[in-house]
Structure 1
Amino acid sequence: MQRHYASLTAALAALGTTIALTGCGTSTGSSGDVTLTLIAADYDVNGGQSSKTYWDNLAKDFESKHEGIDVRVTIEPWTGIDRKVAQLVKEGKEPDIAQIGPYADYAAGDKLYSADQLLSIPVQSNFLRPLADAGEQRRVQYGLPFTASTRVLFYNKKLFAGAGVENPPTTWDELRSAAEQLKDAGVSYPYALPLGPEEAQIETMMWLLGGDSNGFVEPGGSYSIDSEENRETLEWVRSNLVEPGLVGPVPPSKLNRKQAFAAFTKGEVGMLNGHPSLLKEAEKAGIELGKVPVPGKKGKPKAAVGVADWIMGFKKREHREEIGKFFNFLFTDKNVLDFASQNDLLPPTVTASEAMEQDPDHADLKEFLVELPTSLLPPVNKTSWGTVSEEIRANVGRAVEPGGSPAKVLGDIAQKAQDAEAQEEE
């Protein structure tokens, strides 16, 4: 998945981002003023108004440059936004624009405009390749990556020094050895392993990639959940980390990412796989942390795990032209960087990523930015992924319990995936 961006960046600079929209004719359902309805997720981890402020300011700026188009924004919490949009779609009341988690079901149901119907050529070409690929169904992009993140291994430098761990781990064996030293030094969570229902699919995928598998699917797109490599990976985790008591007082199946991050900021965790938003929280708590690539079985995994949230344009109200104008405005470097910087996330575009990487104010994100262009995302373009992801979140933690059976747990999840795929084909 390697990609060289220099030529693309030069081409984008030459073309500019003001090329007229391709594939965007006159909006057939509008005459005169148009109001676009937009539902977006709340990213403010402290319960503040930062997401609402961002979208309100963006909408005002856009309206000032596009007479006759108003944007009405509604902010919903992450805990309910996906269900909210699904219900609106079911009732035939979908918004013009939704910034949410899943897009695949809506694309499969022919409810979304494709990217080439909305975006100028430079804007569509500017998405990082792994993110653009993950937004495709049948080689057509419908999901537009709104923001992204990767994962790296965080470690507490003070706890490492106190336990006599000289270097951060680069392999699984080194990780186990460091965890043993941390445990002997009295650290509560030598390695925090969040396989609870919040985000177990991402933690699991990091381990699977480190075990020389392709994660949950083969390159052709078919599920490979219970592959031999995946079974062996979870067997290693169970036998080398969980059963020896190196993962802390909360069983992995009960430990959520949020809990693990909170324990890290309290100085109770020696190591965990974290994403950029943990940086500020750890800094506020006075934790001196280090960051290295997630260790693999024999070294660096074949790819880092990438995660993206999506934004999409719905066809229902036939506002293609206006949605396209808004998206071309949204994906300018300034607007992309404003949101990413505000939330300690990564830009989904080539030019904004390069700008962030060169900005000394974002030096602490370098490890994440380096991983993103070659990252591998979960199979979010499969309409069955929502069901399969739920199964993984609910059950995969049992595979690594003392005496647990990775083969049985992964086999059961694989069967559910097969059933979900079969239902879609009916």
Structure 2
Amino acid sequence: MQRRRFLGLTAAGAATAALAPALTACGSDGGSGSKTLRVVAADYGDKAANSSQKYWDSLARAFEAKNKGVKVEATVLSWTEVDKKVAEMVASGKAPDIAQIGAYADFAASGKLYSADQLLTIPTQADIIASIARAGEVARVQYGLPFVSSTRMLFYNKTHFAKAGITKAPESWDELQAAAKKLQAAGVKIPYGLPLGPEEAPAETLLWMLSGGGGYTDHDGTYTINSEDNVATFNWLRDELVGKGLTGSGDPARTNRQDVFDAFCNGQVGMLNGHPTLMKQAEAKGIKYGLAPLPGKAGKAKSTMGVADWIMAFKAGGHREEAGLFLDFVYSTKNVLNLTGQYDLLPVTSSASEKMQADSNKAHLKPFLEQLDNAVYYPVDKTSWAKVSKALKEKIGSVVAKSGDPASVLGEIQREADATELAGAGK
């Protein structure tokens, strides 16, 4: 889920000011002797009508009905601001009791979080898919609880493909470029949507790195941001896709994921990398789309990106027992499926995954589910990842500009990553 995120969310942003008072007294007790859990969560909706605020409010009321001594106050913020807001709250000594955001490791390393075994019952812990749960560990102790997961695939507009005479989805970079040129000639405004703006630049970056045989780290977990493969990938992207006008007239460095998703749903984009939730958005607008594996440098990419968003409980409020009760409730099969079913996300528990696999109404998610075993995740177990992700959001878009220098920019981010790692090791 790692940021970025599955959806670019704007609905919650407008509500932030109205919700601000709830963000200033996290962890306090409610009236009549009850304990109040303050929850800050990210929004998976793309408009007010399907905001995650409704999910959390409903979940809170159902939990309160079964746990009379505990109240839950949930504040939902857009993905563009929720990580920053939680970091600010923690820094000011007003950490929420529970946060559902994109990264956890820096909070865990500084001793601010409860571990999973301090919160969850054994059955709940055992139900979380092991391969995803391991990504929540720091020094072999799990602090980050996976909330939802997803993988990415290439989406393409079938109508545009037919009009442009493209008979199959591209499997290599050369085929991707050739398809984009045909789409451009057919009058498609954005042949390939390239969101390298601040909302979720690390995701598109990783997808391209993987397609070129690289990645953020090697098998030992060492950063390889400025590897030869990665530099070559962005040189090609700069010269052969962006440089030839195949990503539209906008600046990729200022283009957010939801911008591209919206354009795809409005029929303006030929191809883009997307996650399951885009299916529902596209169908709502009558877009006929196809799905394909990530194109690679010389053929289908060997892997795709997997995303898990995280939920964690802070020690500051002293509400370990109440937080544990609530999180057990969150991970019940019914509640997991309520959330994932609404937004076409993938569950992180075995029980919910099995039910989804058996549900004929969820057959459209199987291509994404089948990629989970081969997915590569952000290095969220590294305490440096939050700063590295921030640097990527600020700088990576510049590498595809006409005068962009991938080797220089990736080298700069690599040096920042190495310095952050070294500083953390010295603590």
Q: Structure 2 length normalisation: TM-score? A: 0.87
Q: Which runs of 5+ in 2 are unaligned?
A: 1-28
Query: When the two structures are aligned, how many residues end up with a matched partner?
Result: 397
> Given the superposition, is the C-alpha separation of residues 368 and 67 from structure 1 closer, same or farther in structure 2, using an over 3 Å criterion?
same
Give the Å deviation of 1:357. 2.6
Match of 1:73, SS state, is: strand
Aligned partner of 1:204: which letter?
T
Partner of 1:282: 282
2:304 maps to 1:304: yes
Aligned partner of 1:280: which letter?
K
Counterparts of 1:218 and 1:281 in 2: how far apart (Å)? 35
Native 8 Å contact 1:189 1:247 kept in 2:
yes
Match of 1:270, SS state, is: strand
Native 8 Å contact 2:211 2:295 kept in 1:
yes
* Structure-to-structure mapping, 1:238-253, within 5 angstroms: 238-253=238-253
Counterparts of 2:37 and 2:255 in 1: how far apart (Å)? 40
Partner of 1:18: none
Give the Å deviation of 1:160. 0.3
Partner of 1:74: 75
Partner of 1:16: none
Partner of 1:159: 160
* Structure-to-structure mapping, 1:207-286, within 5 angstroms: 207-213=208-214, 215-286=215-286
Aligned partner of 2:377: which letter?
L
Counterparts of 2:78 and 2:197 in 1: how far apart (Å)? 20
* Structure-to-structure mapping, 1:95-114, within 5 angstroms: 95-114=96-115
* Structure-to-structure mapping, 1:13-412, within 5 angstroms: 33-48=34-49, 50-213=51-214, 215-412=215-412
Counterparts of 1:391 and 1:348 in 2: how far apart (Å)? 29
* CA-based RMSD: 2.2
Deviation digits for residues 221-252 of structure 1 (CA, Å, limit 9, x no counterpart)? 21110011111111222232122222211132
Counterparts of 2:179 and 2:80 in 1: how far apart (Å)? 36
> Given the superposition, is the C-alpha separation of residues 52 and 189 from structure 1 closer, same or farther in structure 2, using an over 3 Å criterion?
closer
Native 8 Å contact 1:129 1:373 kept in 2:
no
Aligned partner of 2:360: which letter?
P
Counterparts of 1:86 and 1:412 in 2: how far apart (Å)? 24
Match of 1:305, SS state, is: strand
Counterparts of 1:395 and 1:95 in 2: how far apart (Å)? 30
- Identical positions, percent: 51
Q: Which runs of 5+ in 1 are unaligned?
A: 1-28
Instruction: Could you list the structure 1 runs, at least 4 aligned residues long, displaced by more than 4 angstroms after superposition.
Output: none
Counterparts of 1:65 and 1:256 in 2: how far apart (Å)? 41
Aligned partner of 1:315: which letter?
K
> Given the superposition, is the C-alpha separation of residues 240 and 128 from structure 1 closer, same or farther in structure 2, using an over 3 Å criterion?
farther
Counterparts of 1:54 and 1:423 in 2: how far apart (Å)? 40
Counterparts of 2:361 and 2:382 in 1: how far apart (Å)? 37
Aligned partner of 1:132: which letter?
A
Give the Å deviation of 1:33. 4.7
Counterparts of 1:129 and 1:234 in 2: how far apart (Å)? 34
Q: Structure 1 length normalisation: TM-score? A: 0.87
Partner of 1:22: none
